[in-house]
Structure 1
């Protein structure tokens, strides 16, 4: 079920009546709540969002969205079915719950809401996803730089149809072998730095069609009857072409999928297109991997602020507010490091706490805040400060710039020194005057995506002889790759390259 593009055509309840009356919801109530949330989001928080498309879906549809990386459509692959079967079994047995929502970085922005949600929870989801995440997607520089919100759904529709056509023409097994290898390299299939030329996803599809049409027009069957050049001359030309190609490889290259797509001696045209599809999907999700704390912190702060304003304006009851805050408290729960449930910092908890702290620093700064944050301490327009933060930072730079000593104390943070050459782990810094900057810097480093993935680059490719591909892995802190994972990944690279692949290791 879908509520298309929601416009402000349904005025708030007259006579001071509550927007939400009980747990049950209907589309008219959802429209009224949407309009009330939008008024606060735009007028009081100054949010700028894509047009919203809110879809109410069942638990099974939510599971299906889970399995296809949260997208409304995706090409077929056996791994998605495996994820669906696993998640469904866990959900049916009560071992895991489902998310209240899934939101898609597209234009219009699509928000999936569970039909099992109460009306209070639908209110939270609309504020969280349709305005919090939506504003972040539209305004953060990484999403503007790397994603094509207007073209992603059309591109995925093309990808789905293209993979299906390849399966019909070349066989399911051949397509899945290529996709398996490409999926194994998705983490090494992205550009981490802006490139001189950036094509939209729609441009990729247009250029692909033009290439196919040009190849068909250039093909002339009569050329088969023309006598071939003498073998020696033909070999000389081939050698010259190979040397020129080697000069044009532009090594080293960190994007392995891109290098294999452009330079593999073995891949056929349809296989190169599959690699291009996989790396475009990987590139689309790259900003989300770099902004988990900020994105969830922004959305959580937005929904918390909006639902409290709805209550202050008499539009929702205490019961609805308490239900929302109960869910909110669960979302931002942070377990202690010695708790069995601890698995690191909860991005919702850390992000929300930092957004709240920035607001506090703007409105009620302490002397400590004025020393650490002279540019924002005392600025009363906290909403403008937050909008600037949401637009211009990623997790690593956000934490490095805005994590305050107060929050370091509140979360009781400390930094560990861990080296592969030292059998012991040492406490390097704690939450005191001497340790604040070290703790903040260490935590920021841990959110740098580049530090959490192997640094593997193509450094050599012999296109004249036996054609070995040479990769170089630069170790960080003396930590190498696991033998099992390394060999499995190298097998996938060999399948795509078609010849021997060597991996060298060096220290940074």
Structure 2
């Protein structure tokens, strides 16, 4: 006799196995909670189920569904696959793309409970953050990114066929080497429109083909130039110097680059710009997604849509994600962004709904307002990691997480705990923690400061040194060689103290023996 166990009335699913009907039911239930109860606003969702190998492939190509070919992606795939096969590394349960529609990849190896969790986390938590945060609105074009990546992949493939794989890879290697210094850090008046960029490229190519005349190559060049008589300050002003976006400067001003090489730099620059907001919002983005999935999973359980077994499986995974080892724990490797982000989101809700007198003193604008979800939506929209910590890290949470600061002087054999839990200490801890998320302190400030295009064409870069931290000499020389390959002439990097303006170190790379062809 066969016993049939019926699914209890109201449950969305039961057991670990999943199918597309269950995923559709779960998605609809999550959508109702996210939109009607939490007030989340998202791009249309596109959920794709992929294998572990496809997830590894997505890792290697920086998570993008359409990406041009480059040898470094294959290297990353081989490394990650080896570690995964040996059991030394797990895979993410999901990858989410900042696009419209918002693409969420979920692994087919996940249980049904994990599929529920990652849909709430990625398709609604990350999705809401992508759509509403001001940094993403200023710097990314969610509707155009997929079309632009398709154009970039096609263009680079055409270049490989026409100019050869080594020539294309040499340009991409150089562009990737300075990708972090290839972004505009201040918003433009007009948001980025990647579809317009494709149109401009077609127009540039058509114009070049229509106006090309090989006879211009035979015209004698003048011996003198007005530019040579200009002063250094006039020259720098005409070139728009100093310029912190190295890829942009090389794309526009490098004397020896051909049209297709400039377009490759433009492609890498746009992709670097696309990821720039994500680098500044790791804490907030993961905190938003973690808070969202935690709230939704609890509501599903409260409404009788998932059972106790599913809830226990969820809590096991959730607590692992937000686990924060103590500073003296062998597993400690820094502050877990999931843990701190989730804790701060919960703390904001507590301050809004159950404030203490201390909360009212520190956060008069939100303490006791009652609408915790509304305060969170405002924070998710208007802050990045650095400013979010400066604004919302509370003394209550500092005590709960046992945060403190240590003075680490290289000339002193002992560490000194110099900030304690008092009002001045709380503010100092908050400032120091916020600085750890400030890209101005995390990434070197390197700018093009001078070049005489009518003279020796030597490109001069400055590195504004913060806290006395110089560049690694071997790495600096390697990157300068890539820049010299793009520029075509000698490149010099001068490291200057941001305090005293004293020259601390100089690096120079001679002109390459051959142009990038």
For 1:198 and 1:434, locate their aligned partners in 2 and report how far apart those are by CA, in whole Å: 40
> 1:437 deviation in Å?
0.3
For 1:363 and 1:442, locate their aligned partners in 2 and report how far apart those are by CA, in whole Å: 28
For 2:264 and 2:62, locate their aligned partners in 1 and report how far apart those are by CA, in whole Å: 17
> 1:171 deviation in Å?
1.2
Asked whether the 8 Å contact 1:91–1:98 carries over to 2, the reply is: yes
For 1:430 and 1:161, locate their aligned partners in 2 and report how far apart those are by CA, in whole Å: 57
Asked whether the 8 Å contact 1:20–1:320 carries over to 2, the reply is: no
| 2:194 aligned residue | 201
> 1:242 deviation in Å?
9.4
For 2:13 and 2:230, locate their aligned partners in 1 and report how far apart those are by CA, in whole Å: 70
1:235 to 207, 220, 223: 223
Residues 1:188 and 1:228: Cα distance change in structure 2 (over 3 Å): closer
Q: Structure 2: give runs of 5+ residues left out of the alignment.
A: 1-5, 499-517
1:405 to 390, 395, 419: 395
Residues 1:199 and 1:447: Cα distance change in structure 2 (over 3 Å): closer
Asked whether the 8 Å contact 1:147–1:284 carries over to 2, the reply is: yes
Residues 1:97 and 1:88: Cα distance change in structure 2 (over 3 Å): same
Asked whether the 8 Å contact 2:227–2:235 carries over to 1, the reply is: no
2:293 to 298, 303, 309: 303
Check if 1:58 corresponds to 2:58.
no
For 2:301 and 2:182, locate their aligned partners in 1 and report how far apart those are by CA, in whole Å: 47
1:351 to 312, 327, 341: 341
Residues 1:22 and 1:211: Cα distance change in structure 2 (over 3 Å): same
Asked whether the 8 Å contact 1:419–1:477 carries over to 2, the reply is: no
TM-score by length of 2: 0.91
> 1:431 deviation in Å?
3.0
2:91 to 67, 88, 98: 98
1:177 to 170, 179, 183: 170
Residues 1:46 and 1:211: Cα distance change in structure 2 (over 3 Å): same
For 1:326 and 1:239, locate their aligned partners in 2 and report how far apart those are by CA, in whole Å: 68
Question: Structure 2 matches for 1:153-302, cutoff 5 A?
Answer: 153-220=146-213, 228=219, 234-236=222-224, 247-302=237-292
Question: Structure 2 matches for 1:400-439, cutoff 5 A?
Answer: 400-418=390-408, 425-439=415-429
Check if 1:369 corresponds to 2:362.
no
> 1:267 deviation in Å?
1.3
Residues 1:242 and 1:201: Cα distance change in structure 2 (over 3 Å): farther
2:458 to 444, 449, 468: 468
* Secondary structure in structure 2 of the residue aligned to 1:474: strand
1:107 to 100, 124, 130: 100
**How many equivalent residue pairs?**
491
* Secondary structure in structure 2 of the residue aligned to 1:502: strand
* Secondary structure in structure 2 of the residue aligned to 1:25: coil
| 1:125 aligned residue | 118
Asked whether the 8 Å contact 1:246–1:463 carries over to 2, the reply is: no
> 1:194 deviation in Å?
1.1
| 1:29 aligned residue | 22
Question: Structure 2 matches for 1:75-90, cutoff 5 A?
Answer: 75-90=68-83
For 1:420 and 1:272, locate their aligned partners in 2 and report how far apart those are by CA, in whole Å: 45
Q: Structure 1: give runs of 5+ residues left out of the alignment.
A: 1-12
Compare 458-467 and 39-48 and name the one that shifted more. 458-467
1:488 to 466, 478, 494: 478
Residues 1:477 and 1:421: Cα distance change in structure 2 (over 3 Å): farther
For 1:175 and 1:250, locate their aligned partners in 2 and report how far apart those are by CA, in whole Å: 28
For 1:407 and 1:382, locate their aligned partners in 2 and report how far apart those are by CA, in whole Å: 16
1:102-132 Cα offsets, whole Å, 9 max, x none, are 0000000000000011111110011000000
Check if 1:443 corresponds to 2:433.
yes
Asked whether the 8 Å contact 1:242–1:463 carries over to 2, the reply is: no
Question: Structure 2 matches for 1:310-321, cutoff 5 A?
Answer: 310-321=300-311
For 1:64 and 1:197, locate their aligned partners in 2 and report how far apart those are by CA, in whole Å: 34
Asked whether the 8 Å contact 2:120–2:292 carries over to 1, the reply is: yes
For 2:147 and 2:90, locate their aligned partners in 1 and report how far apart those are by CA, in whole Å: 31
Asked whether the 8 Å contact 1:62–1:114 carries over to 2, the reply is: yes
Compare 238-247 and 446-455 and name the one that shifted more. 238-247
